[in-house]
Amino acid sequence: MTLHQRAGVARTVLGPTARTSQLWTIVAAGAVGLLTVWLTARRGVPAPDLVLPLRIAGVALAAGAAFVLDDAAAVTVASAPTGLPVRRALRVALALTGVAAVWSGLVAYAAVAAVDPSGGPFGLPVAGLTLEFVATVTVAWAIAATVAATVEAGSGGVAAGPAVLALAAVAALAPARWVMYPAGPLDPAWTDAHRRWVGVLVVGLLVLVRASRDPAKRGPLTSLRATPRFPASP
């Protein structure tokens, strides 16, 4: 199939994919994130006080985004000409649009609401927080895709949502040597922590791509798990 043909197929299935994607989970998680940031920002606090609420909002948004990869019709359309990589890529693209819009809105609101003691605008470490957020979303999708590939179609988000919350809690309790959530850009651990976040992002992407391969190309172990077993004939 040529690239032009693949693009045509993608345009054909984009509408049905959008209708079956659980994009409402992103909206719901975004509302939770906005409430979290607003509860702090309404007091007119400086930017450092909004780093933690934004992180909490990002984790909640990542947990909600994990459900977008769930496809209840995955088994039915497994033999369709549009393979899993294309269908997964479309879902990721749709989800990216949603989470990017919500995250941008949260950061913009926090940047406007944050003030210094004199009442003027105060900068936020947007780049660092966005890196943490993107890495967390990627991990959520990697978990969801892996679970969907090995257990039951449509169940990835159910596992990935709580897993992301648990991993974030573990990261928050990491020892000082491996801190993942430094207080702010002035924290000496800020640069090293975000180097680790780059590593988390790369690993998450690799796992997501591998779990999104065509089932026939995943290797013998996956094939054995996916093959139904029948009792031996007497």
Q: What is the pLDDT along the chain (234 residues), one digit of tens a residue?
A: 454 444 444 444 444 444 555 678 889 999 999 999 999 998 888 888 999 999 999 999 999 998 888 765 444 444 444 566 777 788 788 888 889 999 999 999 998 888 765 554 456 899 999 999 999 999 999 999 898 877 655 577 788 889 999 999 999 999 988 999 998 888 999 999 999 999 999 999 999 998 887 665 545 444 434 444 444 444
Region for residue 181 given its phi and psi (left: phi exceeds 0; alpha: psi -120 to 50; beta: otherwise): beta
Cβ atoms 204, 75 nearer than 8 A: no
Tokens encoding 210: 């591998």
How long a stretch of residues is the chain?
Answer: 234
The structure tokens 């659980």 sit at 22
Full-model pTM: 0.78
Cα three-residue angle 34-38-43, rounded to 5 degrees: 170
What are the two backbone dihedrals, phi and then psi, of residue 232, each rounded to the nearest 5 degrees?
-65, 145
* 77-114: burial string, b at 16+ Cβ within 10 Å, e else: beeeebbbebbbebbbebbeebbeebbeebbebbbebb
Residue 26 is which amino acid?
A: I
- State in Å, rounded, how far the first CA of the chain is from the last one: 45
Distances 137 to 26, 69, 95, 132, 180 between C-alpha atoms, Å: 11, 12, 10, 9, 15
Cβ atoms 144, 62 nearer than 8 A: no
Give, as one character, the DSSP assignment of residue 173. Answer: T
